[in-house]
Amino acid sequence: MAILITGGTGFLGRHLTRHMLQSGEKDLVLLDAAPNMAAIADVAAQVKVVPGDVMEVTALIDTIKKYNIEGIIHLAYFLGTGGIRNPLPSINVNCIGTTNIFEAARLTGITRVVYMSSVAVFPMRTTLAGAELSEEDPPAPDSVYGACKLFNEHIANYYAQAYKLDPVGIRPNSVFGMGRGQRRGADADHFMVLPELALLGHQVTLPPDEQVADWLYVLDAAEVFRRAYQAKDLKHRIFNMSGPSRRTGEITAYLREILPQAKISVSDKPFVVTSLLKTDRLRTELNFTPKYTVEDGILAYLNDVRRREGMPLEPR
């Protein structure tokens, strides 16, 4: 029996694939509309990669049957700000495509589907700090992407009640690591990509020192999805996911320490950032605490970039 990971060669998907293999999973099937084989070159021989589109429910069912799929981790979404200018592709992939995943699971007898919701079910903020929001706080998305994620949560709940599906939705806050800056449909200059750009010699401007954001390294995010997939008899179906809340000034100081030649400045105006999240459910029901500090994650991220660029690695 195999696990299907949609978006398996994308940003989170590539890290989750390696993490699942290292955790002992031996039968993984990665589905992507345009597989990025370079992203998984080191493990490609250990997985099956299937070109496929979540908009094609019949093809999804065929893939599930062909590879004897027992569960799904759904990461294939249309990211970024494109929905502002042209909302239809975002709505199609993020709403209809995710519903197709639930429907294909229902029709093939699969129960466990872990899918990626988002902090975007809450509004963005330009404040230096803010209240930490729990899963009990009312959602108020202010983007097409966030509205689609909230739709996913409602549809997942419907499939759970009507068809006994066992979906688990994870609401990531900002996740950083190798590949974030290359996500299809997403801006490459998100402030959590700036450490990579600074390493490569670009002039970068970070948020004000007092602006607070949640930082979670991508391998910690991968572990959350692994735990959600394996979990049994959960009390809840929605989980906020975030890392430690940190003042950006601490991150800026660390980057200046480890990249003394970097050209780093600090904005005098707050950036648009995500809401801060409470993660009590994540700790108590999935027994998760981040393994990586923000500094450890940044160093691991930058060493991944150094490997890609053929640069010497920095010791931990």
**Residues 161-173: pLDDT tens digits?**
999 999 999 999 9
Which is nearest to 251 in space by CA: 286, 224, 212?
Answer: 212
Among 84-88, 90-94, 274-278, the least confident range: 84-88
Identify the residue with better confidence: 128 or 180: 128
pLDDT over 70 (residue 112):
yes
All structural domains of the chain, each given as residue ranges with its CATH number in brackets, are: 2-179+216-244+275-292 (3.40.50.720)
pLDDT, tens only, 21-62: 999 999 999 999 999 999 999 999 999 999 999 999 999 999
pLDDT over 50 (residue 7):
yes
Q: Phi-psi bin for 232: left (phi > 0), alpha (psi -120 to 50), beta?
A: beta
Q: Specify the pLDDT at position 90.
A: 87
The SS3 of residue 166 is strand
Cβ contact 218:177 at 8 Å:
yes
pLDDT, tens only, 281-302: 999 999 999 999 999 999 999 9
Identify the band that residue 316 occupies on the pLDDT scale cut at 50, 70 and 90: confident
Q: Which amino acid is at 136?
A: E
Q: Which residues contact 66 (CB under 8 A, 6 or more apart)?
A: none
The pLDDT > 70 percentage for the chain reads 96
Pairing of strands 276-277, 245-247: unpaired
pLDDT over 50 (residue 89):
yes
pLDDT over 60 (residue 187):
no
pLDDT, tens only, 66-79: 999 999 999 999 87
Q: Across residues 265-276, what is the average pLDDT?
A: 96
> Cα(195)–Cα(193) distance, rounded to whole angstroms?
6
Instruction: Give Rg (Cα) of the chain.
Output: 19
The neighbour count for residue 91, using CB atoms within 10 Å, is 18
Q: Specify the pLDDT at position 84.
A: 61
